[in-house]
Amino acid sequence: MPPSPLSPALALAPEDVARLARRAGLPLPEDRLAGVTATVNAIDSVLSTLRTLPLGDTPPAPVFTAAPRTTHLPRTTS
């Protein structure tokens, strides 16, 4: 699996986030840049764990059919 474009060694710098925001047409005030950069890098850190999961043999969700769950309630006597 290729490394994440945001792997810890390649974490985005504030300048990168500002450039990406401009390219996307998103206003990003200078005073929010540090917080947004930290958030982007933190989210990528969490997602990097998911990228390591071996999902190659996992069927897509529409293939899964959930069996109805049966519950047995205790009988009450009158």
pLDDT tens digit sequence for 13-41: 999 999 999 999 999 999 999 999 999 99
Query: By residue range, what is the domain housing residue 23?
Result: 8-54
* 2-18 residues labelled b (16+ CB within 10 A) or e (exposed): eebebeeeebbeeeebb
pLDDT at position 43 is 94
pLDDT at position 68 is 75
pLDDT tens digit sequence for 44-58: 999 988 888 887 887
Asked if residue 30 belongs to a domain, the reply is yes
DSSP one-letter code for 52: T
pLDDT class of 2 with cuts at 50, 70, 90:
very low
Asked if residue 41 belongs to a domain, the reply is yes
pTM: 0.57
How many folded domains does the chain comprise? 1
